[in-house]
Chain A
Amino acid sequence: MSDLAEQLVHGLTLGSLYAMVAAGLALMFGVVRLINFAHGEFYMLGGYAFWYAYAELGLPYPVAGLVAVAAMGVFGLVYERAVIRAILARTWHVQLIATLATSITLTNLAILVFGTQPKEVPTRLSAAILDVGGVRLAWQRLLVLGAAVAIFAGLEWFVRHARLGKAMRAVSQNREACAVVGVDVQQVALATFGISAGLAGAAAALVSPLFSIFPDVGALLTLKAFAAVIVGGFGYVRGAIAAAVLIGIAESLAAGYVSYAYKDAIAFVVMVVVLLVRPQGLFGRRIGI
């Protein structure tokens, strides 16, 4: 019984990671209708930024975490200006291959710079264990869950009430009409990439103390986050978050009770089953944030 509870918490942690990455992916798709194949690499870079700030520079954990978020936010802005702007008006094939090419470039640059040896970044919280009636949990996992809830609540408030968030929703509904009434569509797209990349950075800062960081962590992560975006209904951020949490739990239970070696296939199987049974996603078809 306590075993099951532990697996569930592990699944929720994993699901929070997937959800933060998937939310960024869904935001980008919602606003500019583009799938960023390099999104998993944003998480990977965020992990290295966190590692550098925490382990190399010796900054305290919260500061190092914010450094990772800020670094990735800036990276997202640069990426939008350097790559995305050149391909926004092109066909989806070009967009997909361009972002895939970015992902390959970033992964291999990371191998050159940081090596293939995974970086472990344990913190005081990842070593401290909480024991609740036989269920043993690292405090870091509780931090991940709490922070994820706070981040998603903040995101929800931002998209509903902040001026920029409303602009993002408006652009996702009708780009031309936004341009007509004077919304700076390009600025909104830029901000979306900053926020989405920042979310990946936050995910990295939160879970890196639990999972190690290595250069090709991104490929599978992009795939799983994308599976969550499909399962949740394309571009629907809340749906993507919910689906990501489900995938995390399914993967964790599969790893614990079925087969650890094949856990990575689970997200994909979930995706295929959902697509066959409900091609419009679990929560209905609706492009929008």
Chain B
Amino acid sequence: MRAGRFILGSAALVAVPWIVAALLPGQQRYVLHVLIFTALYGSLALSYDLVVGHVGSLSLAHPAFFGLGAYTAALLATEGHWPFAAALPAGVGLAALVALAVGVPMFRLTEHSFAMGTLGFAIVTQVVATNWVDFTHGPLCVTGIPKPQVGALRIATLPAFYWMGLATLALVALLYRGLTTFRLGRAFHAVRDNETLAAAASIDPLKYRMLGFVIGGAVAGGVGALYVSYVGVLCPGELTVSLSVNLLVMIFLGGIGTLRGVLVGAAAFTALPEVLRMAPNWRMVIYGLLLLVIVIRAPDGLEGLIRRGSSLGRRPWGA
């Protein structure tokens, strides 16, 4: 029964381009564009939730890892003429390496200091991306980023990008699921819920925090590389603190630490501005207020509302 529904659901998701073409002729481009963004944002939000929701480290460095992957892939593809199949892993690898290098000093910090330290790293990364004009083109942006091509397979049309996004999301969701269940997931949660107790049970908090941080950073770098290959342009403005805020809204809106919650949050978040059609600044005001209200009144998000009636209800971080 469950397997049947799963197969049916997957088939429906894969068939979306044709369904949209049949139901909303003329709107196909726009709807697919929103869906591609939803898939990429969903993947990014899952990678962020690994760090914040499962390991319990409130990192604000995610835009930096996203940006590192994006800039690496973009510059290798435009200046270095690297093929996509090499530029993408390079972006992932560099993001992971930098996460490792940054994590070593950062995890000496606790709580607020860790958040501030990672925020500082994100800001420095953006300052460098803006000012190192010779290398990153600064505010002039990296333009003309080629569409991905792997062998004979060229991803250039909107449906192709949609399938790429969907495949990415499925892959990241699988990774997320694999990392957060089983023994590893329980170790993550032990570290999140009670660091001292975890250490006493010989679960090294630093090791697991680092693992979550580096994997989260690597995935963010990969999403960044895919993102620029879709959009074709990369500006330093993509790396701002507002990306962290967007990610926080997504995971809190949906339900922190839960796969379904984060995906629902990412979908609602990406669809919301498209539905409301408001000016960007009003959008950020509303996101800010939304985040404030959610975190105070309903810290377990939509997922919590769904689960409230059942015995599954839980509150992350004892919030």
Contact = CB atoms under 8 A, between A and B. Distances in A.
Contacts of B263: none
B319 A94 contact: yes
A262 B108 contact: no
Nearest to A230: B113
B123 interface: yes
B119 interface: yes
Nearest to B102: A272
A275 B319 contact: no
Q: Which of B245, B288, B317 has the most CB of A within 10 A?
A: B288
A52 interface: no
Contact of B248 (A83, A97, A276): A97
Given A93-B319, A101-B245, A262-B131, A112 B117 contact: no
Given A91-B318, A93-B319, A223-B120, A83 B285 contact: no
Contacts of B291: 97-98, 100-101, 104
A227 interface: yes
A267 B292 CA distance: 28
Nearest to B244: A100
Given A109-B285, A262-B131, A272-B117, A91 B105 contact: no
Interface string A224-257: 0011001000000000000000000000000000
Interface string A79-113: 00001001100111110111011111111110110
Interface string A20-42: 00000000000000010000000
Contacts of B128: 262, 265
Nearest to B290: A101
Contacts of B119: 223
Nearest to B299: A94
Interface string A202-220: 0000000000000000011
Contacts of A227: 116, 120
A108 B285 CA distance: 6
A276 B105 contact: yes
B289 interface: yes
B281 A220 contact: no
Contacts of A267: 120
A139 interface: no
Contacts of A6: none
A275 B105 CA distance: 8
Nearest to B315: A91
Interface string B277-311: 00001101101110110011001000000000000
B296 A87 contact: yes
Contact of A104 (B117, B127, B242, B252): B242
Given A97-B291, A112-B281, 12 more contacts: A86-B296, A92-B112, A94-B317, A94-B319, A104-B242, A104-B288, A104-B291, A107-B284, A108-B285, A111-B281, A220-B123, A268-B121
25 contacts: A83-B292, A86-B296, A91-B318, A93-B56, A93-B317, A97-B248, A98-B291, A101-B245, A101-B248, A102-B292, A103-B288, A104-B245, A104-B291, A105-B285, A105-B292, A219-B123, A223-B120, A226-B112, A230-B116, A262-B127, A264-B124, A267-B120, A268-B121, A268-B124, A275-B105
Q: Which 6 A-B pairs rank lowest in CB-CB distance, beginning with the nearest?
A: A105-B288, A104-B288, A101-B291, A108-B284, A101-B292, A268-B120
Interface of A: 35, 83, 86-87, 90-94, 96-98, 100-109, 111-112, 219-220, 223, 226-227, 230, 261-262, 264-265, 267-268, 271-272, 275-276, 279
